[in-house]
Chain A
Amino acid sequence: MNKLGILVSQLYKQKIRSKSFILMTLLYIAIISVVMFWTEISSLFKGEDEALQIALIKETDVNLGQIFVSNEEIEFSYHTKDVKTNMYEQVKDGTLDAVIVFSDENKNLKAEIATFSPLELNDQSEISSLIQYAGKIYAIQSMNLSAQEAEQILNSEPIITSISLNEAGTEGKSEDQKQSGIWVSYLVGIVIYFFISAFLSMITTDVASEKGSRALEMLLVSVKPSTHFQSKLFGVFLLALTQFAILFGVIFALLRFTDGGTKWDMVTSLVQDLSYSYVFYVIVFLFLTIFLFLIIGALFGSLVSKVEEAGQVMMPAIMITLVGFYVMISGMANPDTLLIKIFSYIPLTSGMVMPMRIAATDLNTIEPIISLILLIVTVIAFYTLSLSFYKRSVLTYSSGGVIQKIKSVLKFTT
C-alpha cells in the first residue's frame, strides 16, 4: 500500500470506530425512524386517550347525522333542545367535553359551542370544518334545490390545466409536483447541512489536533504535505460516503420491509414525480458540496496552532452553511425569489438551494448545469490553491484571528 493509502486507511479505521461517529450515525437512524413511523408512534401515545364526548342539540331542522360521524377521537351524541340545561350540567361535571347547539339565524346555521375547559387546537379545527360543511348543507336545504343540484354545488371543483405557449420551453410542473418538490428539497437541504457541519468539524479538528500535537511534523518527514492533505480529504470523504450508505441502507430497509412496502411505493412514485435527473443532481450537489467544505475545513485546520482554536477558524465556514440553510428555508414559502436564484449559483450554498429550485420551480435545464459547472470549477480551484497553501501553513504556528493567521503564513513562507 502506498503512503496515501496507509494514511487514508489509518484515518478511516480510527474514525469509524470512534464513539462520536457511531453515536452520530445511531442518532440519525433514530431520527429517521421516528420521522418515518411518526403516525404509528403518535397513535401509540394517543391510543390511551379517551374519545371526546360532544353532545349536539338541534334547535332547528338540520341534518347532522351524515356529517358528524363518531370516530376514535370524537364521539357525537344527538339530543333535543329540552335537555340543554342538563347537558350543560354534564359539561360542568366533566361527563361531556362540549355541547354544540345548532339554531337558525336569518336562514344561516348558527352553532354555539359550550365547553368547561377549552378544546385542543386540533379538535377545534376539526369541529369547525364540520360545522362549516353543515352550514353549507343547511343553506342548500333552505334554497329548496333538487338533490342533483345540491350535489353539484357541493362537489363542484374547477378543472385547472396549464399549457406552455413557449415551444422551446419545457412543460411546467403541476402545483402538486412543486409542493412535493419543496418538501423533498427541504429534507435534502437538512441532510446537506448536517453532513457539512459534522464532517467539516471532523476534518478541521483532525488536522488541527495533528498539527497541535506536532505529530504532523513527524509525518511530514515521510510524506509530502500534499499527500497528507489528500489523505485527510479522501479519508473523511470516505467516512461521509460510508455514513450516507448506512443511512440510505436503513431508509431503504425501513421503506421496503415495513407496512408491506406501501411506504416504498409512495417514495418511488414521488421520485418518478420529481424525475430521476433530480435525484442525480441532488446526489452530485450533495457530494461536491461536502467535498468543497472538506477542502476548506482541512485548510482552516492547518492554520491553527492548537486544537482548541479549531472552533474559531471553523466559524466562517459554519456561518456560510447557516446562510445557505436559511435561504433554503425561505424557499419553503416561495422558491421563486431573487435571493434563492442568486444563492443557487454561489458554489458554497448552491448544494442546499439549487435542489429546491430544480424541484419546486420551472427553471430552464441549463440553469442547474451552469450552477453545477460553477461548483465543479470552484472545487478544482480550491483544491489546487489549498494544496500549495497547505504546504506552507501546516508548519507555521501563529496566534490571532483567521486573517492574522493567513498573513503570518504568507509572511513566513514567502
Chain B
Amino acid sequence: MTLAIEHVVKRYKDFTAVKDLNFTIDQGEIFGLIGQNGAGKTTTFRMILNLQEPTSGKITWDGSPINSINRDWLGYLPEERGIFPQMKVEEQLYFFGKLRGMKQEEIKKEVDFWIHRFELDEKRHDKAETLSKGNQQKVQLIASFIHKPKFLILDEPFSGLDPVNRDLLKDAILLLKEQGMTILFSSHQMDNVEELCDHLCLLKRGVSLFSGSLLDLKKQYGKTKLTIRTDMQKEELVKMVGVKEVKQERDEYVLTLIDESFAKGIFDVVAKGQFIEKFSLDYLSLDEIFKDQVGGDNE
C-alpha cells in the first residue's frame, strides 16, 4: 500500500468536515472518492496535499508522514478551474515544469507530447484567458501532471468537458496509470468512476460509507437489477414475488429485486418456457448505489 489514511478527522470551530476517514490506495491504481457537494472530498484532498492539517489521525505515503515527502511527487488539479490568465499556454506549462524541478529538455518533450495529445497545437502561443473553458481545463490538467508525479489528485476532472474531450481525458488517465502513476480522483459522474476506478470510497457528510473495491460494493447489493422486454403489463410484474420496484423505460421494464435469488422464479413466469427477447440480471450501477446510499436526504 502506498497512501494510507487512518482515522483522519478534520474539525472546524462549529462543524466537522471529515469524521474518522480510513482508506488505502495501492501503487499504480486509480481510486475514486465520491460524494455529494460538501461531503468532505476537497478537505480530504487538501489534507493529503498538506494544505490543511488533520485535527487527528494520520496520512502516510509508503509509511512516512505525508508532510515529509518530496512535494514534487504530488500533482493536483483543483476543482475550480483556473490558470494564469495572462500567460501563454506553452509559457504556463514551462513555468509549472520548471517549478517542479524539471530540466528544459524534459519539459519540452512532455509539453510537445501532451499539447499534441490534447489537440492544443494551434493554441500553444495563445494567452490562457482567450481559450475556451474546456481548453483551459486541458491546459490546467497538463500542468498538474507535467512533472510526472508519483501521486496525482484530480478533483472533478470531467466536469465541464464535452464527450469528445472526456474521452481524451479518460485515455490520458489510463495512460498515466500505465506509466505507474497512482491516481486519486473525485467525480459526480458515476459512469466515469465506474469505468476508471479499481477502488473507491463513498463519502457522506464527512463519513465514509464504504471503502474498497467497486466489485465488493456491487456485491453488497447483489445482482438485483433485472431488465426484461415482455408483453406483460407493469401491474402484473409488480405483483410477482421478490419484486421491490418496477420502472418502465421505453419498451423495457427495469425491476429492482429484493434479492437475486428471486430471478429464476421470475424468469419462469415471464418466459413460460418460450423464447424471450431480453432477460438481463445485473449488479446495480454505481450511480444507483450512490443514489441509494447518499440520496433520499439531499441538502
Contact A14 B100 (CB under 8 A): no
- CB closest chain-A residue, reference B81: A214
Given the contacts A217-B76, A395-B52, A6 and B81 also touching, CB distance less than 8 Å: no
Q: Which of A6, A14, A212 is in CB contact (< 8 Å) with B98? A: A6
- A46 interfacial contact with B, CB 8 Å: no
B72: chain A residues at CB < 8 Å are: 222
Q: Which of B49, B80, B98 is in CB contact (< 8 Å) with A221? A: B49
Q: Which of A214, A222, A412 is in CB contact (< 8 Å) with B80? A: A214
Given the contacts A6-B99, A214-B82, A215-B84, A412 and B76 also touching, CB distance less than 8 Å: no
Contact A213 B13 (CB under 8 A): no
Given the contacts A6-B99, A218-B144, A213 and B85 also touching, CB distance less than 8 Å: yes
Q: How far is the CA of A222 from the CA of B101 in the complex (A)?
A: 10
Contact A7 B99 (CB under 8 A): yes
Which of A214, A219, A222 has the largest count of B CB atoms less than 10 A from its CB?
A222
- B12 interfacial contact with A, CB 8 Å: yes
For A206-225 the 0/1 string (1 means CB < 8 A from B) is: 00011011110111111100
- CB closest chain-A residue, reference B12: A412
Q: How far is the CA of A158 from the CA of B166 in the complex (A)?
A: 92
From residue 78 to 135 of chain B, which have CB atoms closer than 8 A to chain A?
Answer: 78, 80-87, 95-96, 98-100
Q: Which of A6, A212, A218, A411 is in CB contact (< 8 Å) with B76? A: A218
Contact A212 B82 (CB under 8 A): yes
CB distance from A217 to the nearest CB of B (A): 4
CB distance from A44 to the nearest CB of B (A): 41
CB distance from B174 to the nearest CB of A (A): 23
Q: How far is the CA of A412 from the CA of B77 in the complex (A)?
A: 22
Interface residues on B, range: 20 to 34
Which of B49, B99, B140 has the largest count of A CB atoms less than 10 A from its CB?
B99
B51: chain A residues at CB < 8 Å are: 217, 220-221, 395
Q: How far is the CA of A99 from the CA of B72 in the complex (A)?
A: 88
CB distance from A7 to the nearest CB of B (A): 7
Q: Which of B46, B81, B99 is in CB contact (< 8 Å) with A3? A: B99
- A10 interfacial contact with B, CB 8 Å: yes
Q: How far is the CA of A217 from the CA of B82 in the complex (A)?
A: 9
B46: chain A residues at CB < 8 Å are: 395
Given the contacts A10-B95, A395-B51, A221 and B83 also touching, CB distance less than 8 Å: no
- CB closest chain-A residue, reference B49: A221
Given the contacts A14-B87, A209-B85, A219 and B49 also touching, CB distance less than 8 Å: no
Q: How far is the CA of A219 from the CA of B99 in the complex (A)?
A: 9
CB distance from A134 to the nearest CB of B (A): 68
Given the contacts A7-B99, A221-B75, A395-B46, A215 and B52 also touching, CB distance less than 8 Å: no
From residue 55 to 90 of chain B, which have CB atoms closer than 8 A to chain A?
Answer: 71-72, 74-78, 80-87
B13: chain A residues at CB < 8 Å are: 411-412, 414
Given the contacts A14-B87, A221-B76, A215 and B82 also touching, CB distance less than 8 Å: yes
Q: How far is the CA of A67 from the CA of B12 in the complex (A)?
A: 86
Q: How far is the CA of A223 from the CA of B72 in the complex (A)?
A: 9
- B25 interfacial contact with A, CB 8 Å: no
B9: chain A residues at CB < 8 Å are: none
Q: How far is the CA of A218 from the CA of B100 in the complex (A)?
A: 11
Q: Which of A217, A222, A413 is in CB contact (< 8 Å) with B78? A: A217
- B143 interfacial contact with A, CB 8 Å: yes
Which of A213, A413, A414 has the largest count of B CB atoms less than 10 A from its CB?
A213
Contact B71 A221 (CB under 8 A): yes
For A6-21 the 0/1 string (1 means CB < 8 A from B) is: 1100100010000000
Q: How far is the CA of A3 from the CA of B84 in the complex (A)?
A: 17
Contact A221 B74 (CB under 8 A): yes
CB distance from A9 to the nearest CB of B (A): 10
Contact B71 A222 (CB under 8 A): yes
B98: chain A residues at CB < 8 Å are: 6
From residue 213 to 245 of chain A, which have CB atoms closer than 8 A to chain B?
Answer: 213-215, 217-223
Q: How far is the CA of A412 from the CA of B84 in the complex (A)?
A: 26
Contact A213 B82 (CB under 8 A): yes
CB distance from A265 to the nearest CB of B (A): 46
- CB closest chain-B residue, reference A221: B76
CB distance from A85 to the nearest CB of B (A): 76
For B139-157 the 0/1 string (1 means CB < 8 A from A) is: 0100110000000000000
A210: chain B residues at CB < 8 Å are: 84
B75: chain A residues at CB < 8 Å are: 221
CB distance from A209 to the nearest CB of B (A): 7
Q: How far is the CA of A159 from the CA of B80 in the complex (A)?
A: 76
Given contacts A218-B78, A220-B49, list 4 more A-B pairs with CB under 8 A. Answer: A210-B84, A213-B83, A222-B71, A414-B13
State the B residues within 8 Å of A (CB): 12-14, 46, 49, 51-52, 71-72, 74-78, 80-87, 95-96, 98-100, 140, 143-144
State the A residues within 8 Å of B (CB): 3, 6-7, 10, 14, 209-210, 212-215, 217-223, 395, 411-414
Ordered nearest first, which 7 A-B pairs have the shortest CB separation? A213-B82, A214-B82, A217-B78, A214-B80, A221-B76, A214-B78, A411-B13
18 contacts between A and B (CB under 8 A): A3-B99, A6-B95, A6-B98, A212-B82, A213-B82, A213-B83, A213-B84, A218-B76, A218-B96, A218-B140, A218-B144, A220-B51, A221-B75, A222-B71, A395-B52, A411-B12, A411-B14, A414-B13
